[in-house]
Amino acid sequence: MSPSRKAEFLLLLITLIWGSTFAVVKSSLNGVSPLLFLGIRFGIAAIFFPLIFRKNYFRIDIKTLKGGIIIGALLWLGFALQTIGLKFTTASKSAFITGLLVALTPLVQALVENKSPTRGNIIGIIMIVAGLYLLTSPQGQGLNVGDVLTFGCSIAFSVYIVYLDIFSKRHDVSNLTLLQLIVVSGLSFAATPFVESASIRLTIPLVVSFFYLSLFATIFATYIQTKYQRETTPTKAAVIFAAEPVFANMIAFIAFREFVGFLGAVGGAFIISGLLVSELMDR
């Protein structure tokens, strides 16, 4: 298996994990306020990461530190907007709107790196955006504040994907990953008093959620994305991540009986088809 194929497979794997988090986070927010939730989730990850990936983290140079802070801040902005938005919208709809990053990432990459998507990427993106529309619109719900916040999240994640591509090629992956975890946790705790009335009601399901999200959806997923996204292009990575709403909808249906109907199913098929077109057409 070529390095790019291996990277794309692993990115698809973490996309499946991310798809499961919408239902988990939506359920967890019944017992904890959003930013406090993020601070604890990434704080646990920052504590366990050095224990799992043992090395000397005290030799982080200033350039790596600056890169980690920049992409960490972008990652925090995306997660903060997404998590707060989940208080006001459904898990499946949040995933669909987040998936719009597939259309935004090529624009950001063209502006920042002066790289244009391939013909296959463009056709795949058009199919995926059409699929996202079909997945979202059949729900018959008007635009709400949660949807607007989640769209802001998709913009932040698009910029993050492009800058992660830049910095992960220049700096040590483990150092960058740890810095991102620390920055997201620190910014979450720092912003909590200004944005929300912090509250938490510890239950066994919430504790289990914290450790699932921290170990799998945060440590494992962030490390894999930081290490392997550089083996492909930001546009192709965004196309792969567009499968997230399909996975999220399946899990949201099982957990909350959130159902998007026939057109929603057609939209999911469009997304999967768009992924295949983007991956295979130029070959």
77: CB partners within 8 A, 6+ apart: 152, 153, 156
What letters, b where the CB count within 10 A reaches 16 and e where it falls short, cover 191-221?
A: bbeeeeeeeeeeeeebeebbebbbbbbbbbb
Could you identify the residue written with the tokens 């700096």?
Answer: 171
SS3 4: helix
What are 205's two structure tokens? 């399901």
Residue 200 CA to chain centroid, in angstroms?
24
* In the chain, domain spans: 3-115+142-232
Q: Which one, of 213, 221, 181, 188, lies nearest residue 49 by Cα?
A: 181
Please state, in angstroms and rounded to a whole number, the distance separating the CA atoms of residues 144 and 148: 7
What's the whole-model pTM score? 0.80
Please state, in angstroms and rounded to a whole number, the distance separating the CA atoms of residues 253 and 93: 12
pLDDT per residue rounded down to tens, the chain (283 residues): 788 888 888 998 888 888 888 778 878 888 899 899 999 999 999 999 988 877 666 577 889 899 999 999 999 999 899 888 888 877 667 777 787 787 788 888 888 877 777 777 788 778 877 877 776 564 545 567 888 898 899 899 999 999 998 998 888 888 899 999 999 999 999 999 998 888 899 889 899 999 999 999 899 998 998 889 888 888 778 778 877 777 777 776 666 565 656 777 677 777 777 767 766 665 6
